[in-house]
Amino acid sequence: MMKRKMEKRKKKTIVNYFSDSFVLIKKNPLYFFIPVLIDITFIFAFFFVYHFFLSKIMNNFFSLLMMTGNSLQGIIEESPESVLLMHQMNSAITAIILWVISLIISSYFIYSIFQSASWFFAGKFVHKKLILKQYIKRFFAVNIVWHIAFVLISYFYVRAVIMTDIFNIYSNLQAVKPISLIFMITLAYFSLISYALITEKGFRKSIKGCFVIGFKRFFSLICFFAVFVLIFLIIDLLLKAIFLISEPVMLIIGIIIIFPIITYFRIVLISLIKDFSG
C-alpha cells in the first residue's frame, strides 16, 4: 500500500495540483470567496494604517531636517537658541523612533490577523479538520520570524537610501538594492512554504520544514511560483491596457481577477506542501 501511494505521488505533476485544486473549488465555490473578501479588506486596512504612520514619520523627519541646518548654524555661531533647538531635535528623533516602532508592531498584527484567516480558509479546502484558533496561533508565532527578517532587510535598504538621496553622503546603495531584492524574494519563498506547513505542523516543524522542503523540492516549487509570476505579468499588461481606457474599470477588473488568483495560488501551494511533507 505504501509503495502504491509513493508511486502515485511521484507520478503527480504540477499540472495535477492545479487541476485538483480547481476541482476542490468547484465543489464549494461560495466558500472560495471568503479568503478573497478577507484579502480585499486586508489591502484597504493595511494601506490605511501604513499611510497614517508613514505621514507621522515623514512630518517629524522633515521637521528634523529643517532643524538640522539651523542647529549647525547655531552651534557655529554659539547662539543661545542652539540648546533649545537641540532639545527640539531630540524630541523629533524620539517621535520618529516611536512612530516607526508603532508602524512595525501595527503592520505585524494587521498582516497576521488577516493573512492567517485567508490561509486558514484556503487550507480548509485541503485539510478539512483544520482548527481556526490553532492555525492563527501558529501563524502569529511563525510570522514573528519573517516579520523581524523583513524589518532588518528594510532597515539597511532605507538607511542606504536616506544616506544617499537625502543627506548626500556616499553609501553602498547600488549594492544594497539588488542584495535587498534577493533577500526579499528568498524571504517570500520560505515564508509562503511555512504558511502552508502550519496547516499540519507546529511552530518549530514549520520553520525547519520550510527550509528542508524549500531546498529539497526547489525545482518543483520554482516551477510552481514561475507559473504564477507569468500569470501576474500577463494580468499586469492587461490592466495597463485597460488603464488607458478607464482607471476605475482597471481597478474593478484588477480586484475581480487578482484576489481570486491569490486564493487559488494558496490552495495549490497547500496541496503541494501537504504531499511534499508527507
pLDDT value, residue 215:
94
* Residues 77-109 pLDDT 10s: 555 556 666 777 778 888 888 999 999 999 999
Instruction: Please state, in angstroms and rounded to a whole number, the distance separating the CA atoms of residues 60 and 95.
Output: 7
What is the domain partition of the chain in residue ranges? Answer: 1-28+217-278, 40-124, 134-204
**Among candidate residues 151, 141, 221, the one with its CA nearest the CA of residue 183:** 151
Instruction: Please state, in angstroms and rounded to a whole number, the distance separating the CA atoms of residues 270 and 16.
Output: 13
pLDDT value, residue 271:
92
How many Cβ atoms sit within 10 Å of the Cβ of residue 150?
Answer: 20
Contact by Cβ (8 Å): 116, 139: yes
Stretch 138-167: mean pLDDT, rounded? 88
* Residues 107-131 pLDDT 10s: 999 999 999 999 999 999 988 888 8
pLDDT value, residue 8:
47
* Residues 160-171 pLDDT 10s: 887 776 666 666
pLDDT value, residue 14:
81
Cell numbers linked to 147: 516579520
Stretch 8-25: mean pLDDT, rounded? 78
**Among candidate residues 134, 170, 171, the one with its CA nearest the CA of residue 156:** 171
Stretch 53-82: mean pLDDT, rounded? 68
* Residues 209-232 pLDDT 10s: 999 999 999 999 999 999 989 999
Distances in Å between the Cα of 131 and the Cα atoms of 112, 117, 198 are: 16, 11, 11
How many Cβ atoms sit within 10 Å of the Cβ of residue 44?
Answer: 9
Instruction: Please state, in angstroms and rounded to a whole number, the distance separating the CA atoms of residues 271 and 197.
Output: 10
The pLDDT > 70 percentage for the chain reads: 86
The pLDDT > 90 percentage for the chain reads: 47
* Greatest mean pLDDT among 20-34, 153-167, 176-190: 176-190
Q: Is the pLDDT of residue 47 over 60?
A: yes
Phi/psi-derived region of residue 135, left when phi > 0, alpha when psi is between -120 and 50, beta in every other case: alpha
DSSP track, 72-93 = HHHHHHT-TTHHHHHHHHHHHH
